[in-house]
Structure 1
């Protein structure tokens, strides 16, 4: 009904301060909200722009607050995620550094081998370092031989790859016949037909008498060379001749022949022993010094020769030569030791390729044995870091799963917010339903007012309502979530 005071009351409720003399009481804590011509004049007619102070939807505001909260959580999770990835990278780098250090240390062994006869075994493993390292790593590491020992062994094998080493074959020692032994053992005495025999035998000076006869008693000499008296006559000469008859002379000649033969035989024997050792390629004078042993043996044979010579000088002596076998035994023993080496090398030469391969395999295995500490240290570091990486990756996966859930939650919340165009349409519909048909909210057509919404009264006047910047980012981070508006 007109004139009943509706407008006046609405003006009072719209601005209480304009009516200080009026008041009213409302039960409860309520504030009046008035939509009348004064509200329209103040907010639409007399204002060139409507600030963005209204909320299109309270639910949207709540949802946006929750999106912001979830986005902050997502950012924290992303920071944790990146930190874990960084820690994993550092752990992997530590593994790489341990491996590189091990490769460098093991590769140093290559220079040792290059200075030895084993250098050909490095073929195709000199470069790169990693290839040499992996070849050593594949070995079992059971051979404790040094590279130097293997070098000596391979040099020995190579030394005789074409010519087999000659074994030492010692000659048979010189021996006297039974007849010679008897001749030396039995005294040679003058004939018993001489009157001088008993006298000389009593004095045991037969050799002295014989020497005097041969050296001092000349033909036709009558004066004794010793007492210088005329005692030498034909009768004395006959007695001397009878004393040293042909039998005596023959016996002495036998002893002299034995002396000559024995001297030649043992000299030839000693020279043959020396030749056998020097002709053996496995003989090393520094390691197998046989010369002192040969000298002892030669000395023993010379002692026997001296005995035979004493028999020549004193035929009446009976002699027995010394056994030299005790001096020969050390030489035989040394020859046996060298021949074992000869046999060993000869066997290896017959299977040269097989033994060469065996030495090559043992060289690689020896390298693994002597670098075990390097591999152990590297393995310990790698295993420690692998354990650390597994823990970090498990933690990373948990963070990732939580992040995906948060991202999905943000997407779900965003899907529940109202679209701005739909909201504007609903406002316009609501205005019409309220009977307000004089204007509507539309998007500004002015280029400088892009993204603005305006109140339109038809073809002319437009009132800028609000600035709406709706920026939906289509890019996604690792969690698959869109950043909050």
Structure 2
């Protein structure tokens, strides 16, 4: 067992301070701030660097030191951050739960990242959806413009009269490299020409067949021949000199020919009777049979030429509606038709001129070029007619072709809308793909963390057995208004009296102390978990201020519990101890008195009473007599009366006097006095009030944690408390001794 504890260069132990003992039970009394917590922390974590100048003598290697102090509570009592009032016990479970909390935090952070990515994905999908809706609205114009009863293109939209179907159909059509040559108007005309009431086949248009005939007439030699009379006639020389046989011919036919009006003898020019039968005969001989033959041939050519008729095109409206390019050929035909008409008209005029003036030389216009052009156009038009007639044989096939052409035109017309959507969709899909890859990585991390959490949960120890014992001990302590109930795996909660539901409230410091101390007792018994049995191990027990946060109602019960478990039991004339050695530290004189053995012989044999003191040079351990326990009350008053004592010590002694006199001697509830106007309405008393009413005395706080200490204010408030409670005489007596 421990024989010496050496403390040096840590906290208030400036110089080496040694606690010597040869007893199993060591009871150490000291005011707050004298070094009790430092002593218990050294025994709890003796291997830490801060205790490198401290040492223990007499400790065997196989002896385990179990320490109950604030550090033990912090290490073993773990409250869930997510649910107040939910806690676990066991240092091992606390560490695991801390690690689980870290894992949960990591999972939460990963989930936040995941949610951020999900939000971005949702935003990208919304962009796509909005752009799709815009494109669909635009393309919906096709339906509103071309679908409906009586509209020729309604059949093209069959099965595509929903926004999504129409859009999908149009986007699946491959755009042609060249813009469609036909327009919607062309297709409409074609449909109407093929399916209208006037839709009928056309006969082929015959070519112009008189091209050779017209060529022969136009190139006839007679038009380049000077037709004149008989040169052997006696008047031939005269006519030649006149140089105008055509004029003579005209005069002859009018005045001298048998067909004229009479037998003229008087010259129409000189008015002399110079025209004789001989002259008339000579003129007639001049225009002989050869001359007349040429004239007759000219007339025959004129007659034949006049019979040449240029064919006119029939009504080709359906052809034009079906083939827009056919209109150009028809217009060209009409243009050349007019040209040929003009040529024929001019040639006829020239032939008539030749007949009238046979001696004149003429050249007719060539119509062959124009006729050939017309025949060429007729061939093109016939091709349209043939194709049109063929289409009429299978209108449904043609309608299918028109449907394909319709959608090609639509694809071109709405290409910008489609491409705008497809570009945004491609960009968004790439972004979504990248985000989903990041999410996969995050999901993988989350799964790893979940597996890690699962493994950590397997490492927690089962403390259901100790929890049962704690509930039993709570009843033994007289605490029946709450118990501990399992909340979830390795987590527990306080269940209040008459309430079957978990009460999710923060545990009070007193509840934490009671529960953690009862759990400490279970650890000391060797029941860290159900399967472990470690009772054979020698154990030294250290208990630091177990009643610091307790109501005075439970101090006696806790004292009794400590005495029964740790201070040994009498068996006939011998004492039996559960543990190798016990150290109990307290600031409470009353509690110290409670756990001290009253039998002088037994106390002298088994217990060592030690006082821990602190002064300017450091701390010291001094042997304490049993009688001094009662005298310390007077010592507190001496310190309070001396304003030159350290402020923290004066305030601490005031609190110890109040605790001893009011709580333990007179059993008075001080709160009733602190709520009276003398305290509530006096601001300068508030520092004293808050200091005296601090719940925990084990936090190592001093008076400077609240406000600058004012001795006169504290002394006045101290006196006021005794005055309003009716104990002013006692105050005056103690202050004047």
Normalised to the residue count of structure 1, the TM-score between the two structures is 0.67
Aligned counterpart, 2:488: 473
Aligned counterpart, 2:165: 131
Distance 1:339 1:179, change over 3 A: closer
The answer as to whether partners of 1:259 and 1:309 remain within 8 angstroms in 2 is yes
- Write the distance in 2 (CA, Å) between the matches of 1:204 and 1:214: 18
The answer as to whether partners of 2:264 and 2:275 remain within 8 angstroms in 1 is yes
Q: CA deviation at 1:159?
A: 1.8
Aligned counterpart, 1:275: 313
Q: Tell me, yes or no, if structure 1 residue 171 matches structure 2 residue 208.
A: yes
Residue 247 of structure 2 aligns to a residue in which SS? helix
Distance 1:236 1:475, change over 3 A: farther
Match for residue 229 of structure 1 among 272, 278, 287: 272
Distance 1:114 1:146, change over 3 A: farther
Q: Tell me, yes or no, if structure 1 residue 423 matches structure 2 residue 462.
A: no
Match for residue 422 of structure 2 among 365, 372, 375: 375
Aligned counterpart, 2:135: 105
Distance 1:367 1:178, change over 3 A: closer
Aligned counterpart, 1:311: 354
Aligned counterpart, 1:389: 436
Match for residue 252 of structure 1 among 274, 295, 307: 295
Aligned counterpart, 1:288: 331
Residue 419 of structure 1 aligns to a residue in which SS? helix
Aligned counterpart, 2:109: 80
Q: Which moved more, 1:176-185 or 1:60-69?
A: 176-185
Match for residue 321 of structure 1 among 360, 364, 367: 364
Higher helix share: 1
The answer as to whether partners of 2:462 and 2:490 remain within 8 angstroms in 1 is no
Aligned counterpart, 1:70: 99
Once superposed, what is the RMSD of the aligned Cα atoms? 4.4
Residue 327 of structure 2 aligns to a residue in which SS? coil
The answer as to whether partners of 1:85 and 1:396 remain within 8 angstroms in 2 is no
Q: CA deviation at 1:224?
A: 0.6
Greater relative contact order (CA < 8 Å, ≥ 6 in sequence) = 1
CA deviations over 1:147-167 (Å, ceiling 9, x no partner): 963652464355235423554
Higher strand share: 2
Structure 2: runs of 5 or more not aligned: 1-21, 32-53, 58-71, 78-87, 147-151, 321-325, 492-503, 508-737
Q: CA deviation at 1:341?
A: 3.8
Distance 1:385 1:148, change over 3 A: farther
CA deviations over 1:367-401 (Å, ceiling 9, x no partner): 55633443233123113212211221221232133
The answer as to whether partners of 1:188 and 1:248 remain within 8 angstroms in 2 is yes
Q: Which moved more, 1:378-387 or 1:333-342?
A: 333-342
Q: Tell me, yes or no, if structure 1 residue 403 matches structure 2 residue 403.
A: no
The answer as to whether partners of 2:183 and 2:409 remain within 8 angstroms in 1 is no
The answer as to whether partners of 1:142 and 1:366 remain within 8 angstroms in 2 is no
The answer as to whether partners of 1:143 and 1:365 remain within 8 angstroms in 2 is no
Residue 315 of structure 1 aligns to a residue in which SS? coil
Q: Which moved more, 1:288-297 or 1:220-229?
A: 288-297
- Write the distance in 2 (CA, Å) between the matches of 1:215 and 1:388: 113
Normalised to the residue count of structure 2, the TM-score between the two structures is 0.47
CA deviations over 1:342-390 (Å, ceiling 9, x no partner): 4444454445433432443454456556334432331231132122112
Aligned counterpart, 2:35: none
How many pairs are equivalent? Answer: 402
Match for residue 213 of structure 1 among 230, 252, 261: 252
Aligned counterpart, 2:238: 199
Distance 1:322 1:100, change over 3 A: same
